[in-house]
């Protein structure tokens, strides 16, 4: 969702995921050294919600102040490849435009 005015702009975006199936990678663990899964593989991955907020303010024609708030809910999810999500993060800055119209 995005809101834009003459000097101000705001946007919020989200990624929502419910619980999902995954593999337990329990190979060669049955009596015949087969590839059966000993554990159920349903709903192994937890669900999560990631919300980000961006704010922009045009102070003048050449100066813009911005901020970005990532992972507003602070949920630490681990995706299927095993990398954890970043915690709540804030970035802010100033854009200066030289020249142009």
Decide if pLDDT at 75 tops 60: yes
Decide if pLDDT at 74 tops 80: yes
pTM: predicted TM-score of the whole model, two decimal places: 0.70
pLDDT at position 89? 93
Tokens at 41, concatenated? 């593989």
Question: What's the sign of the alpha-carbon dihedral 12, 18, 19, 20?
Answer: negative
The ranges assigned to domains in the chain are 2-18+43-96
- What pairs with residue 69 in β-bridges? 53, 90
């Amino acid at each position: 969702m995005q809101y834009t005015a003459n000097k101000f702009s705001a946007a919020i975006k989200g990624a929502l995921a419910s619980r999902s199936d995954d593999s337990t990678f329990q190979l060669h663990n049955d009596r015949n050294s087969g590839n059966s899964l000993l554990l159920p593989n349903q709903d192994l991955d937890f669900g999560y919600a990631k919300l980000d907020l961006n704010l922009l303010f045009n102070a003048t024609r050449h100066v813009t102040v911005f901020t970005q708030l990532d992972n507003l809910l602070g949920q630490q999810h681990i995706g299927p490849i095993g990398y954890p999500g970043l915690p709540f993060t804030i970035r802010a800055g100033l854009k200066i435009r030289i020249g142009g119209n």
